Amino acid sequence: MKVFKVFNKYFPTKQDVEGPEKIMAISSPTVVKHDVHVILNKNTGSLEGIPEAWKKYIENTIGKDEMQENPEAALSAVMFWNRSMLNQKGEVGYMPTTPPVQEVSEGDKLGTNSCDELEDGDQMKIHKEKLDTSASSTQEPQIACSLQAQGLVEHQAERPELGGSISPVQVRKKVSGKLTDEEVMAEFQRICSPSNPETIYERDMELGAGASGTVFAAREKSTGKRVAVKDMDLSKQPKKELILTEINVMKELQHENLVNFLDVFLLNNHLWVVMELLDGGPLTDIVTETVMKEPQIAAVCNHTLGGIQYLHENGVIHRDIKSDNVLLGKDGSIKLTDFGFCANISGDEKRQTMVGTPYWMAPEIVNRKHYGKKVDIWSLGIMAIEMIEGEPPYLKETPLRALYLIASNGKPDIPSWQKLSPEFQDFLSRCLEVDMEKRASAEELLSHPFLSKAVSTTTLKPHIEAAQKLLDKRISSEM
């Protein structure tokens, strides 16, 4: 009897299977695919298919009339904002109002056939869908967006084998292109100097602090040379690859208009990046606190373009040109810094990665088009507006609305436009040309007549000192 019971257990009869006392056990899903449709309904002027908290925020920020007037720009802004600014977990209780930096991994391309890793482990693919042709002819056309979420499983499904466990066909191994934390840390160990930086440098005043770490002035004990040190706690850095990118760019590229790298150390999971010290601080201090004249603006643009052109010649896009990332020295030095968002390109190669800071961002990035080196030129034009007006366009707007205005307006209005010289107006128009093909290159702009107005950058010293006094920020050249 036991033999029959065991046999029946594994090979039940038809009656056994269909009997009401038998309950089928259904396993948990192993691969989950969930489609969420974000739709702009032109009848109602509202977005459908998104969490209520998002909907209210978006409608209050952009407005129904503007969404109906320029739905493509509205959706571009919403999709960009959705992918790169929001924590993808759960609904949003509040939205950021300060200028957050955008970063989406290099593989996150819109309209591709693969989903790549996003922040917090969520994976999404965003693409436009064609309208349902079966809809009623009286219904207003709708613009739809599909967000295909595949981040609900712990691991991605493995690629199926061809025809069983053994196949005569050799299959290419797919590489994600991303380094694991262990690989990044191993690379840090490889590139860092083995010495203890605390025995080499004496820490001095703090120069600034942010999400990526603290920057402080220091003195090299053996020579008395003053340096700047960026101290980053790697345990608090979710994007360690960006830091690795920044260090590698700084180590390989040396130019008079780039902040030059000196050394890097790893101490108790803290990365110390040692750079040359510029005692004038960021250009932001000057543009927000003092009024610059055209010849001084021309001088800053000239030196900044020198750094941009050098990067572009070496196949690098900076992708985050703004006044915060231009440092000044009282000796007249003007240098680009912060290379965490740099990308390596070849020739006229294009990218589609969504990266940068919203207010300085080129329209082609917001509109999710392929872009090239000229995104840095657009950002330079916005930085020139900073030097005219004291802030970039749309700074008083929320990031989402700023993205919408960039996508819909293209070249921004400049309140002081009529007060500018014809040469400066033309320079700005060449920088802020929406058509990427018509926008000037760094090489072309370096010979622009506006730059011939440039005066010595040492004329900025009174501006630097005035700004530091107003902001109570002093960076002395000596201890």
Number of neighbouring beta carbons within 10 Å of residue 156: 13
CA distance 108 to 352: 8
Is 142 within 8 Å of 111 (Cβ atoms)?
A: no
Q: Among this protein's residues, is 319 annotated catalytic?
A: yes
Residue 247 one-letter amino acid: I
Q: Give the list of residues 6+ apart from residue 316 with CB closer than 8 angstroms, or none.
A: 249, 253, 339, 342, 343, 344, 345
Q: Which of 83, 203, 226, 319 is catalytic?
A: 319
3-state secondary structure string, the chain?
CHHHHHHHHHCCCHHHHHCCCCCCCCCCCCCCCEEEEEEEECCCCEEECCCHHHHHHHHHHCCHHHHHHCHHHHHHHHHHHHHHCCCCCCCCCCCCCCCCCEECCCCCCCCCCCCEECHHHCEEEEEEECCCCCCCCCCCCEEEEEEEECCCCCCCCCCCCCCCCCCCCCCCCCCCCCCCHHHHHHHHHHHCECCCHHHHEEEEEEEEEECCEEEEEEEECCCCCEEEEEEEEHHHCCCHHHHHHHHHHHHHCCCCCECCEEEEEEECCEEEEEEECCCCEEHHHHHHHCCCCHHHHHHHHHHHHHHHHHHHHCCEECCCCCHHHEEECCCCCEEECCCCCCEECCCCCCECCCEECHHHCCHHHHCCCCECCCHHHHHHHHHHHHHHHCCCCCCCCCHHHHHHHHHHHCCCCCCCHHHCCHHHHHHHHHHCCCCCCCCCCHHHHCCCHHHHHCCCHHHHHHHHHHHHHHHCCCCCCCC
Residue 257 one-letter amino acid: N
- Of 388, 389, 392, 416, which is closest to residue 298 (Cα–Cα)? 388
Structure tokens at 14: 């038809």
Catalytic residues: 319
